[in-house]
Amino acid sequence: MSSLILRTATRYLVPLLLLFSIYLLLAGHNYPGGGFVGGLAAAAGLALYALAFDVRSARTMLRLTPTGVSALGLMLAALSGLPGILRGSSFLTGKWMVAYLPGFDPIKIGTPVLFDLGVYLVVLGVTMSIIFALAEEES
């Protein structure tokens, strides 16, 4: 039986963790962070959710199956290497687009960012699949 206090705190903490994980993912190219830590932090959030509530609701939060999330991530990471090939360069060559928004510094979006997103998803999905499977284990 879980704790009311934990559940309530979790409701407020999980969004924080997810937000933090997205920050880590996006800031990772320039500041400490990146897909790994980001994905792991998101996974930690969902894990907290699974601990405080139950696995079923945590699964619902994730929507896709954990395996699906990680497969998607891996595919994304691999696909992010293809634009390089299509543009006549090597596999995994970074290709960048610069978006100019008035009032902001130019935003650079490149395949390495997609790659990092793939990493994020894989880490999230895998960690979740392991934790969910273990938590659902009956003895």
Partner 1 sequence: MKMLFSNVLLALIWSAMTGAFTLPNLAAGFVFGYVALLILKPLLGESAYYSKFPRTISFLAYFLKEVVVSSLRVAWDVITPTHYNRPGIVAIPLEARTDLEVTLVANLISLTPGTLSLDVAPDRRTLYIHAMFAENPDAIRREIKEGLERRLLELLR
Partner 2 sequence: MNETISSVAQAMMGVLCVAMLIALYRVVKGPSLPDRVISIDLLTTLAVGVIALYSIETGQKIFLSAGIALALLAFLGTVALALYIRRGGPP
Partner 3 sequence: MMTVLTMLALAGFFAPRLYRAWGARTAGRLALAPALAFAYFASRLSAIRGGETIRASFEWIPVLGFEFSLQMDGLGLLFALLIAGIGAFVVWYAGAYLKEDPAAPRFIAALLLFMTSMLGVVLADNVIALFVFWELTSFTSYLLIGHHHEEEKSRKAALQALLVTGLGGLFLLAGLLLLGQAAGSYNLSGILAADSLSSHPLFNPALALLLVGAFTKSAQFPFHFWLPNAMAAPTPASAYLHSSTMVKAGVYLLARLHPACADSAIWQAVVPAIGAATLVIGATMAYGQTILKRLLAYTTVAALGGMTMLLGLGQTLAIKAAVVFLLAHALYKAALFLVAGIIDHETGEKDVLKLGGLRRALPFTALGAGLAALSMMGLPPFFGFLAKETLYSAAQQPTLLAASVIGGVFFLVVACLTGLKPFFGAERDTPRHPHEAPIAMWIGPLAMGLLSLSFGVFAPWVGPTLIAPAASAIAGEPLTAKLALWHGWNRELQWSLATLALGLVAFASLRALRPIMPAFARLRAWGPERGYEAALNGLVAAAGAQTRLLQNGSLRYYLLATLLFVLATGGWFFWRLVEWPAPGAGTPVRLIDAVILSLILLSTVGAIFSRSRMAAFASLGVAGYAIAIFFVLYGAPDLAMTQLVIETLTVILLVLAFYHLPPLHPRTPVRGRVFDLVPSVLVGSLMAALTLAANRANLAPSISSYFSANSWTNAYGKNIVNVILVDFRALDTLGEISVLLIAGLGAIALLKLRAPGKGGGGAP
Closest contact distance (angstroms) between CB of 2 and partner 1 is 12
45 scored as a contact of partner 3 (CB under 8 A): no
CA distance 37 to 103: 30
Residue of 11, 31, 57, 60 interacting with partner 3 (CB under 8 A)? 31
> Do 91 and 37 touch, CB atoms closer than 8 A?
no
Q: Which is nearer to partner 2, 111 or 120 (CB)?
A: 120
* Helical spans, DSSP H, in the chain: 4-27, 35-52, 55-62, 66-79, 82-86, 111-136
Residue of 12, 63, 99, 138 interacting with partner 2 (CB under 8 A)? 138
Size of the site for partner 3 (CB under 8 A): 52
Residue of 94, 96, 123, 136 interacting with Na ion (CB under 5 A)? 94
**What φ, ψ does residue 10 adopt, rounded to 5°?**
-60, -40
43 scored as a contact of partner 3 (CB under 8 A): yes
Token couple for 112: 């390495």
Q: Report which of 118, 92, 93 is spatially closest to residue 35, judged by C-alpha positions.
A: 118
Residues that bind partner 2 (CB under 8 A): 6, 13, 16-17, 20, 24, 31-33, 37, 41, 44, 47-48, 51-52, 138-139
